[in-house]
Amino acid sequence: MKTAKTFQPSRRLILKAGAAGMLASAMPSFVGAQGAPIRIGFQLHRTGIGASYGRWYERTAQAALKLINEGGGINGRPVEILFEDDATDPKRGSEVVEKLTVQAGCDVVMGTLFSHVVIGSAPRAGELKVPYLVCSEGYHVASGMLNRWTMQPGITDVRSQISAMAPWVGANLGKKVTMIFPDFAFGHDHRDFFTKAMAAQGGEVIAQIAIPPTETSFTRYFPQIPADTEVLYHVMVGPAVLTFVKELGEFYGSGAKPQIFGFIDSLEAVDTATPGLEFLEGTHFWEGHNRVTPADAGEHEAAYRAAVGVDDMGASVSDAKDVSTYSHMFSTWETLFAIKAGMEAAGYTGPADRQKFVEAMEAMADLPYGMERPQGAKRFNGKTHQVFGTQNISQVQGGKLIRVHQTSMEDGAYEDAVDYTAMAF
Amino acid sequence: MTAARIWALHLALIAALFAAQYLLPPYHVTNLARIMVLAVFAMGYNLAFGYTGLLSLGHALFFAAGMYGGGLLSYHLGWTALPALIAGLAAGGMMAGAVGLLALRTTGVSFMIVTLMFAQAGYLTILYFGPTTGGDEGLNLPAAGRSLLGFSLSADGPRYLVALGLFSTALLCCLGIARSRLGRIMVAMRENEERSRMLGYNPFTVKLIALVLSGLFSGLAGAAYGVLFGYVGASFATIQYSILPMLYVLLGGAGTVIGPFLGALLMFYLIDFASGLTSAYLFFVGAALVTLVLFAPKGILGTIRERWLGWLP
């Protein structure tokens, strides 16, 4: 009969095992902190009225992410982006900010284009004290209506864009302008700022034609355009933009027409060579970033296009009919690089450093042209949380958008309306 | 005995929701606050549709009336949350009364179309007065407008308790109405309007009362959503926000007191979960509704009541 031996560890063995256990339990968290990725939440228009933008914003952000990670990430840590659809709806947008911040544990959240989603989401970002970096265009960040946690470092706002455009329009196209714009806040920004800017140039807006947002056919509005109109200024957004432009062409036919100046929003993600748009030949557009590679494009333009998968005509390299939202989508790229710069300046290590990150962003000023900013050099105003940059005017020539003018950064400057740095966090 | 069961069930739900703030992770606590406010909206819709048979496509108007009725007073006049909530409640009720006086002259499909038309007119009115209402962009409410008896509703704790307080009040009011003489008359209108008329009840008056009650609930929910989450916007007046309470009620069980909450809870998390998987998440919503129509046309609690718990109100 065997006698069972009981295991009786010595005191020394217990101490050794305890020490080893403590070391082992400490190691994974130490190693993990070194390699734990920085998580960036991205509130994306995957569905709803902004879906055509969302698709390209996601591709552009993925391309920038790849480049950032290939370059060593942020502060030596890898970066990952968590995309979540906001359905282009403010209620869902706010819920998405919550989900990305609280459930997914993102360090910062990026917001996307449509103003109502940004404005609806900003209060929750402020409550959660999470940096909310938006790629919108409305005059809402710099107007002071949001909070200290909301910033727009990747794209200029509509007030700046219009202020920069108006002098050129007045000097080159005409002084008597009729405006056609959507009858909601985005259109009202255009109406108010352009009317004021034209007056400053000695010009005059002689008619303002507001199109109700539910409208699907536009022909009945065109007879309201006064006969003495020298410049027709149009800006439309949403799924009906192509109908709008086509019906405008049918209205004028092959007869005489005024000079036409539009914001590319009316034709974003639409091929300018689409049948029915021939009348646009010779007309002008504002572009944030030129869809067709300009002859004098910067040295990083080709690399940026290759990275986001867009050809020299602004279409997907895999499908020439898939026209990108090229004029706007650089904003996600530049915002990601701004986040990288801000986090590195702040020595960001985790959510406890979110306030330091915002302060580091506020301390930014000159942002030079480079691969980080392929659209052009920028200047970030830390007080208003808004970036300023150059704008482009293109003319449709042979069915292509050819750049004919680039504004200076100063053309789009305006006085500060807010000092966010004086606000509490 | 039945009354005791009914009260126990509803009080247990309120107690469970009170406990949830201590037991659930923060993400779900805020979600529950949203869901409780949306459930108040759905309870209002249920009074009109589930109990009285008024299939409205215009309840977004009542929700928005409450949201703007309270929100604009906060934004422009600096009202605090309590008077803003009362103003929102009144705005929802008055809007429903005004719409009801005209729309209740119609029935069935015509009623749906007329209410839809009023809601669309309301949405466009908000856009038209953009300088005051913020138009499509909407407005962020100031901190003073989100203060209730000295507590900031931007903090998670007070926000949850206020949402729970409003939800509990609405739930018990709904239960009281459902078990009252008025509630039974409303159901009689739904089941057989002509017979009810023969019994001496005026269908127009009863339906108008039901619609105003529905508007009061909806308006309160709209005002609460504004002050609790700090944003007032025209998107809440779109057709989508007329369809949502209908989906909540259909899913949870039309004509049941707890059904709207259950529907709001399930639909919220269905969208939240599915949108993380695919951009075609509305497919899941559609599939859920088709399944419902095929296997449980009376909604979840409606089916449970029919098959097992006949005492459910």
Is B155 a domain residue?
Answer: yes
pLDDT of B133 reads 94
Q: Which of A47, A98, A145 sits opposite B140 (nearest CB)?
A: A145
What is d(CA B307, CA A190) in angstroms, rounded to the nearest whole number?
60
Number of domains in chain B: 1
pLDDT of A34 reads 53
The contact set of A with B (CB < 8 A) is 46-47, 84-85, 87, 89-92, 94-95, 98-99, 102-103, 115-116, 119-120, 122-124, 126-127, 138, 140, 145-147, 183-186, 188, 212-214
Contact (CB<8Å) B134/A185: yes
Residue A420 phi, psi dihedral angles, 5° rounding? -65, -25
Contact (CB<8Å) A119/B231: yes
What is d(CA A24, CA A30) in angstroms, rounded to the nearest whole number?
10
Contact (CB<8Å) B229/A123: yes
Q: Determine contact, residues A414/A381, Cβ cutoff 8 Å.
A: no
Could you read off the pLDDT of A295-317 as tens digits, one per residue? 999 999 999 999 999 999 999 99
Contact (CB<8Å) A184/B137: yes
Residue A148: strand pairing partners:
none
Find how far residue A400's CA is from the centre of its chain: 24
Residue B153, min C-alpha distance to chain A (Å) = 10
**Domain that includes residue B55, residue range:** 2-307
Q: Which of B137, B156, B272 sits opposite A115 (nearest CB)?
A: B137
pLDDT of B99 reads 97
Contact (CB<8Å) B276/A84: yes
Residue A2 has pLDDT above 50, yes or no: no
Lowest mean pLDDT among A233-247, B12-26, B32-46: A233-247
Q: Strands A386-389 and A378-381, how do they pair?
A: antiparallel
- Kindly give, in sequence order, each residue whose CB lies less than 8 Å from that of residue A390, ignoring residues fewer than 6 positions away: A164, A375, A376, A377, A406, A407, A408, A409, A412
Residue A16 has pLDDT above 60, yes or no: no
Mean pLDDT over residues B95-114, rounded?
Answer: 96
Could you read off the pLDDT of A251-292 as tens digits, one per residue? 988 888 899 999 888 788 888 888 888 888 999 999 999 999
Which residues of chain B does A95 touch, with a Cβ-Cβ cutoff of 8 Å? 31, 34, 272
Is B313 a domain residue?
Answer: no
Residue B64 has pLDDT above 90, yes or no: yes
Three-state SS annotation for A233-257: EECCCCCCHHHHHHHHHHHHCCCCC
pLDDT of B1 reads 63
Could you read off the pLDDT of A316-362 as tens digits, one per residue? 999 999 999 999 999 999 999 999 999 999 999 999 999 999 999 99
Which residues of chain A does B274 touch, with a Cβ-Cβ cutoff of 8 Å? none
What is d(CA A110, CA A127) in angstroms, rounded to the nearest whole number?
16
Contact (CB<8Å) B233/A186: no
Q: Cα-atom radius of gyration of chain B, to the nearest Å? A: 19
Q: Which of B26, B128, B154 sits opposite A102 (nearest CB)?
A: B26
What is d(CA B63, CA B89) in angstroms, rounded to the nearest whole number?
9
Give chain A's mean pLDDT.
89
Mean pLDDT over residues B140-153, rounded?
Answer: 93
Which residues of chain B does A146 touch, with a Cβ-Cβ cutoff of 8 Å? 140
Q: DSSP letter at A326?
A: H
Which residues of chain B does A97 touch, with a Cβ-Cβ cutoff of 8 Å? none
The two structure tokens encoding residue B116: 């839809």
Contact (CB<8Å) B234/A116: yes
Output helix, strand, coil percentages for chain A, rounded to the nearest 5: 40, 20, 40
Q: Which of B137, B154, B229 sits opposite A94 (nearest CB)?
A: B229
Which residues of chain A does B155 touch, with a Cβ-Cβ cutoff of 8 Å? 127
Q: Which of B30, B230, B276 sits opposite A123 (nearest CB)?
A: B230
Find how far residue A245's CA is from the centre of its chain: 24
Residue A260 phi, psi dihedral angles, 5° rounding? -120, 125
Residue A9 has pLDDT above 60, yes or no: no
The two structure tokens encoding residue B204: 């127009």
Give pTM, 2 decimals: 0.89
Is B187 a domain residue?
Answer: yes
The contact set of B with A (CB < 8 A) is 25-27, 30-31, 34, 120, 124, 127-128, 130, 134-141, 154-156, 229-231, 233-236, 240, 271-272, 275-276, 279, 281-282
Q: Which of B27, B275, B281 sits opposite A98 (nearest CB)?
A: B27
Residue A187, min C-alpha distance to chain B (Å) = 10
Three-state SS annotation for chain B: CHHHHHHHHHHHHHHHHHHHHHHCCHHHHHHHHHHHHHHHHHHHHHHHHHHCCCCCCCHHHHHHHHHHHHHHHHHHHCCCHHHHHHHHHHHHHHHHHHHHHHHCCCCHHHHHHHHHHHHHHHHHHHHHCHHHHCCCCCEECCHHHHEECCEECCCHHHHHHHHHHHHHHHHHHHHHHHHCHHHHHHHHHHHCHHHHHHCCCCHHHHHHHHHHHHHHHHHHHHHHHHHHHCEECHHHHCCHHHHHHHHHHHHHCCCCCCHHHHHHHHHHHHHHHHHCCCCCHHHHHHHHHHHHHHHCCCHHHHHHHHHCCCCCC
Please give the C-alpha separations between residue A157 and each of A154, A378, A382, A386, in angstroms, as whole numbers: 10, 13, 15, 8
Instruction: Characterize A260-277 residue by residue with b for buried, 16 or more Cβ atoms within 10 angstroms of its Cβ, and e for exposed.
Output: bbbbbbbbbbbbbebeeb
Other C-beta atoms closer than 10 Å to the C-beta of B141 total 25
What is d(CA A44, CA A88) in angstroms, rounded to the nearest whole number?
8
Residue A3 has pLDDT above 60, yes or no: no
Is B203 a domain residue?
Answer: yes
- Kindly give, in sequence order, each residue whose CB lies less than 8 Å from that of residue A143, ignoring residues fewer than 6 positions away: A417, A418
Mean pLDDT over residues B1-28, rounded?
Answer: 94
The two structure tokens encoding residue A103: 């459930």
Residue B263, min C-alpha distance to chain A (Å) = 18
pLDDT of A10 reads 56
Amino acid letter, residue A330: F
Which residues of chain A does B27 touch, with a Cβ-Cβ cutoff of 8 Å? 98-99, 102-103
Which uninterrupted H or E stretch holds A44?
strand A38-44
Which residues of chain A does B156 touch, with a Cβ-Cβ cutoff of 8 Å? 127
What is d(CA A173, CA A283) in angstroms, rounded to the nearest whole number?
10
Contact (CB<8Å) A120/B231: yes
Do the domains spanning A37-156+329-389 and A159-287+393-406 agree at the CATH topology level?
A: yes
Contact (CB<8Å) A94/B231: yes
Residue B257 has pLDDT above 50, yes or no: yes
- Kindly give, in sequence order, each residue whose CB lies less than 8 Å from that of residue A194, ignoring residues fewer than 6 positions away: A162, A165, A166, A177, A179, A205, A233
Other C-beta atoms closer than 10 Å to the C-beta of B147 total 18
Three-state SS annotation for A183-229: CCHHHHHHHHHHHHHHHHCCCEEEEEEEECCCCCCCHHHHHHCCCCC
Contact (CB<8Å) A99/B25: no
pLDDT grade, residue A11 (50/70/90)?
low
Contact (CB<8Å) A116/B27: no
Q: Determine contact, residues A196/A414, Cβ cutoff 8 Å.
A: no
Choose among B236, B257, B81: nearest CA to B161.
B81
What ipTM is given for this predicted complex?
0.92
Could you read off the pLDDT of B190-230 as tens digits, one per residue? 999 999 999 999 999 999 999 999 999 999 999 999 999 99
Could you read off the pLDDT of A358-398 as tens digits, one per residue? 999 999 999 999 999 999 999 999 999 999 999 999 999 99
What is d(CA A405, CA A360) in angstroms, rounded to the nearest whole number?
34
Q: How many residues make up chain A in this entry?
A: 425
Q: Determine contact, residues B89/B222, Cβ cutoff 8 Å.
A: no
CATH at B237: 1.10.3470
Mutation target among A43, A53, A98, A137 for the B interface, most CBs of B within 10 A: A98
Please give the C-alpha separations between residue B46 and each of A328, B170, B246, in angstroms, as whole numbers: 44, 12, 8
A37-156+329-389 adopts what CATH topology?
Rossmann fold (3.40.50)
Residue B18 has pLDDT above 50, yes or no: yes
Contact (CB<8Å) A146/B140: yes
Mean pLDDT over residues B124-148, rounded?
Answer: 92
Q: Which residue of B has its CA nearest to A54?
A: B279
Contact (CB<8Å) A120/B275: no
Mean pLDDT over residues B258-265, rounded?
Answer: 97
pLDDT of A4 reads 42
Residue A183 phi, psi dihedral angles, 5° rounding? -85, 55
Domain boundary assignment for chain A: 37-156+329-389, 159-287+393-406
Amino acid letter, residue A42: F
Please give the C-alpha separations between residue B145 and each of B134, B169, B217, in angstroms, as whole numbers: 16, 22, 21
Residue A363, min C-alpha distance to chain B (Å) = 26
Mutation target among B37, B137, B140, B151 for the A interface, most CBs of A within 10 A: B137
What is d(CA A388, CA A338) in angstroms, rounded to the nearest whole number?
13
pLDDT grade, residue A216 (50/70/90)?
confident
Residue B142 has pLDDT above 90, yes or no: yes
Could you read off the pLDDT of A44-96 as tens digits, one per residue? 999 988 887 889 999 999 999 999 999 999 999 999 999 999 999 999 999 99
pLDDT of A18 reads 52
% of chain B surpassing 70 pLDDT = 100
Which uninterrupted H or E stretch holds A132?
strand A132-134
Does domain A159-287+393-406 correspond to CATH entry 3.40.50.2300?
yes
Q: Which of A99, A119, A183 sits opposite B138 (nearest CB)?
A: A119
